[in-house]
Structure 1
Amino acid sequence: MRRQFYFLLSSLLFCVSIGRAQIYDLDELRYRPDSNSLKVEKPELGIRPVKLPMSNLDLKVIYWRHWSSFGINANQASFSDNWQTGGVNSISVGLLLNHKSDYTRNNTNFVTELNLQYGKQKNKEQLPRKNNDRIFWDNKLSLKVANHWSLFTSLTFESQFDIGWNYGVNEVTGREETTTVKSNFMAPGYLAESLGIEYKPDNTFSLRIGTGTARQTFVSDDNVVPTAGDGSRYGVEPGKHFRNDLAFQLTALLDRNIAQNINLKSRYNMFANYEELTDPSHRLEATLTASVTRLINVTLAGILVYDSRQHENIQTSQALALGLLYKIPR
């Protein structure tokens, strides 16, 4: 009986509590913090323009480029007095100076090139002789008018430093001696002005076609000026010191590295007087330089000349030398 009483009493209390209960939404029972619980202060941004100091770099565009080289070559051979297979003691020394300047701006190009060479050779029982002597100065101004093509004008000077002698043997002493002068400074000397078009596909090759070319030949040494019985010399008539020619001229230039340490430099010039187009003069120069080190090099040079005013046959010159060559810039 007592258990039944307690059960009825519990059931009654449960029903009363349910009747008084309220239905709550779970979202409303969740805790929501106050949005203004934490105060955030927004700083005021003080933005204002600032002037930065401009540095004065003083930049300049350099349109000039320069190259120079200085060299000395030497060859020597000696034999004992009892050397049976033949030979002559000899020594030769050669000096050279090359300079090139290039100015390029837009379509305008100016190039000046100076080449100075001088060398002497001494063989036993012979007087010293020149084996190299040249002054060459070339100036060219060009204006590019199309891809690889330009209009150009040029001025070229060529001569030599020292006297060139003819040699003979003295009948009394039996020794060699100088006889007559065959060349000297400005005897001959050449000054050429040319106007035409130039083809230049790259920086290693160019071809000048000088349709309007004038060349002056000078013979300033009276010992070289031909006399009436000698005929013309270097194209200059007997008793005169000057000759002027109007001609067509071709000039081809090549300066190319054919291997890592091997350079080939060549220049070909053809000069045809308009009055004698069938007998033009030709000059071909080629120099092969192999660099052993930065200073030591081996040079093989050759020159071929045909000019009927000087000689009816082809003239040739060849030299192989070991020397020192210093270049700027290196």
Structure 2
Amino acid sequence: MKKLAMAVVTVFCITVTGIAQDKTVQDLRGESGKTIKKDESDTTVKTWKTGGMFNGTVGQTSLNNWAAGGDQFSFNSNGILNLHAFYKKGIHSWDNSLDLEIGYINSTSLGTRKTNDRIDLISKYGCQLFDHMYLTGLFNFRSQFTAGFTYPDDTTKIKTSNFLSPAYVIVAAGMDWKPSPTFSLFLSPITSRWVIVNDDELSAKGAYGVDSGKTVRNEIGAYLTATVNREIIKNLTYKAKLDLFSNYKHNPQNIDVFMTNLISMNVYKGFGFNVGADFIYDDDQKSFGKDKNAARLQVRQFIGIGYQRKF
């Protein structure tokens, strides 16, 4: 009898323990399967949207006993970083973007030369008047990181740019039309632009329309800028910017143009390609033509394969 009682107690304990364990497992499963719901009293609205894209490309070529000829060794690299921070709350918006680009090529015959160099910061604060239309103040800074040169021949180089030489600072007030989060068109009838040439050598030449020996020139004019940053199809992005400026003080009919275009495609796990084209026309940059005293449309295009990452 005693043995039977002990057996019954043992079976009971095992059964209770098993039931308890089953209930514990069931409770855990139930909790893990629940959907997290936002507290109805939490009315917090996300006001900032931040992100960016990095794109890096490299290429290398080497030749040995190559009958067709060419440089024994060449290496090129290019880096692009786009950052943005957008604020929206009620009728107020604040859009900020920063574009940084740098590229070099090195070869045995020509040495190291720069192929790409840009700093472009734009900040716009707007107050919404009605659908898609904002009364906006704008600040834009554009320059480059390092010295740039032109090469009339293989042994001669002429300095044409440097950090803050030139640099363009724009302060404007106007109307900003934003029909979608990926497109903006800003127009200002009264804009103040400063052209800065902080390099003594370039300043002495009166480069970029700045009077010889001076470092800053102020211009008043009309300004238009349009930006687009859109995913055309999955993993294929088009980013572009167009700036137009007319100087009321000097030859207002000669409009300065600055345009950048970049198409990026992610092919496989961050590896992809990009295609770009930039166009610049500056009536004050008269270093082209037969006598090196004419303005011309400046064009730069590039194709790269490398690694890109959005964040």
Q: TM-score scaled by structure 1?
A: 0.75
Over residues 193-228 of structure 1, what are the superposed CA-to-partner deviations in whole Å (9 max), with x where a residue is unaligned? Answer: 01100111111211111112111011111021134x
**Match of residue 236, structure 1, among 207, 210, 219:** 210
Q: Equivalents in 2 of 1:167, 1:318: separation in Å?
A: 18
AA matched with 1:222: D
Q: Equivalents in 2 of 1:179, 1:295: separation in Å?
A: 38
List gaps (5 residues or longer) in structure 1: 1-54, 170-175
**Match of residue 253, structure 2, among 278, 285, 291:** 278
Q: Equivalents in 1 of 2:230, 2:43: separation in Å?
A: 33
Q: Equivalents in 2 of 1:254, 1:261: separation in Å?
A: 16
Aligned counterpart, 2:138: 154
- Aligned 8 A contact 1:120 1:132 in 2: yes
Aligned counterpart, 1:318: 301
The alpha-carbon distance between structure 1 residues 144 and 324, as it changes in their structure 2 partners (threshold 3 A), is: same
Over residues 245-297 of structure 1, what are the superposed CA-to-partner deviations in whole Å (9 max), with x where a residue is unaligned? Answer: 00101111111222222111111110101132210111121111111024112
More helix by share: 2
1:90 aligns with 2:65: no
Q: Equivalents in 1 of 2:232, 2:89: separation in Å?
A: 29
AA matched with 1:147: D
**Match of residue 73, structure 1, among 57, 80, 86:** 57
AA matched with 1:277: P
AA matched with 1:306: Y
**Match of residue 134, structure 1, among 113, 118, 124:** 118
1:189 aligns with 2:170: no
Q: Equivalents in 1 of 2:203, 2:132: separation in Å?
A: 44
- How many residues are paired up? 263
Structure 1's consecutive aligned runs of 4 or more residues displaced over 6 angstroms after TM superposition are 55-59
Aligned counterpart, 1:106: 90
Sequence identity percentage: 28
List gaps (5 residues or longer) in structure 2: 1-38, 287-294
How far off its partner does 1:244 sit? Answer: 0.3
- Aligned 8 A contact 1:305 1:316 in 2: yes
**Match of residue 101, structure 2, among 95, 98, 117:** 117
How far off its partner does 1:178 sit? Answer: 5.9
Counterparts in 2 of 1:190-229, with a 5 A limit? 190-227=168-205
Q: Equivalents in 1 of 2:157, 2:244: separation in Å?
A: 33
The 3-state SS of whatever aligns with 1:225 is helix
Q: Equivalents in 2 of 1:251, 1:70: separation in Å?
A: 24
Q: Equivalents in 2 of 1:56, 1:153: separation in Å?
A: 37
1:258 aligns with 2:242: no
Q: Equivalents in 2 of 1:148, 1:261: separation in Å?
A: 27
Aligned counterpart, 2:273: 298
The 3-state SS of whatever aligns with 1:216 is strand
Which is higher, the Rg of structure 1 or of structure 2?
A: 1
How far off its partner does 1:168 sit? Answer: 6.3
Q: Equivalents in 1 of 2:241, 2:151: separation in Å?
A: 31
AA matched with 2:241: R
Aligned counterpart, 2:24: none
Q: Equivalents in 2 of 1:243, 1:270: separation in Å?
A: 18
Q: Equivalents in 2 of 1:264, 1:180: separation in Å?
A: 34
The 3-state SS of whatever aligns with 2:102 is strand
Q: Equivalents in 2 of 1:320, 1:166: separation in Å?
A: 21
Q: Equivalents in 2 of 1:168, 1:274: separation in Å?
A: 35
Q: TM-score scaled by structure 2?
A: 0.79
The 3-state SS of whatever aligns with 1:98 is strand
Over residues 176-207 of structure 1, what are the superposed CA-to-partner deviations in whole Å (9 max), with x where a residue is unaligned? Answer: 55644321110111110011001111112111
Q: Equivalents in 2 of 1:60, 1:147: separation in Å?
A: 24
How far off its partner does 1:157 sit? Answer: 0.6
